[in-house]
Structure 1
Amino acid sequence: MVRLPLTPAEVERGKRLGALLRDARGPRTILDTALDAGVSPETLRKIESGRVATPSFPTIAALAAVLGLSLDELWARIAEPGVDAAPRGARQRLAS
């Protein structure tokens, strides 16, 4: 399976996601938060730094639950206004 390069919008959304999670974590350590969510501290570190711009849904759902964020709120805060929220694959299928 070939993974397509991320679009600039996806990279920016990943950075916004990382900043939001870092802010929501507050004074909690990366280690405590990651262990509570069932992900590795390195994965959380990469998400927070924007190096993993498109983490898996289960990872985001687990982190949101631990940090007390609803997934609707999370998406609303990281999505760019006016940008189609369809996944990249769906956009490509629609464009064909």
Structure 2
Amino acid sequence: MVRLPLTPAEVERGQRLGALLRRARGQRSMLEVALDARVSPETLRKIESGRVATPAFPTIAAIADVLGLSLDTVWAEINQPERDAEPAGGGRAERERLAS
């Protein structure tokens, strides 16, 4: 099977997913979370580091469950545009003008 290269958007989503999982894990060890989710610690490490940008849904569901995250929260977090990115059709100056 040939895997197509990831798009920049998929890579960014993978990075956001990893950051979310690291934040949610807090002080819990990676080993503890991985074992509780029934995934390998290596899999969790790769997801958290963004090396696996498109993990399988059951894997994410299991990790999210262990971390107390709803799938809605995960979906919303990984699909939001970068906080520093400017929206199409209007930059910071336009948003500030509209807000005043």
TM-score normalised to structure 1 length: 0.82
Matched, 1:57 2:57: yes
Q: In structure 2, what residue type is equivalent to 1:15?
A: Q
Larger radius of gyration: 2
Q: In structure 1, what residue type is equivalent to 2:6?
A: L
**Structure 1 match to 2:79:** 79
Q: In structure 1, what residue type is equivalent to 2:37?
A: A
**Structure 2 match to 1:29:** 29
CA distance in 2, matches of 1:80, 1:11: 13
TM-score normalised to structure 2 length: 0.79
CA distance in 1, matches of 2:57, 2:64: 10
Gaps in structure 2 of 5+ consecutive residues: 82-86, 88-100
Q: CA deviation at 1:3?
A: 1.0
CA distance in 2, matches of 1:56, 1:4: 16
Aligned residues: 82
CA distance in 2, matches of 1:28, 1:78: 22
Percentage of pairs with the same residue:
79
Gaps in structure 1 of 5+ consecutive residues: 83-96
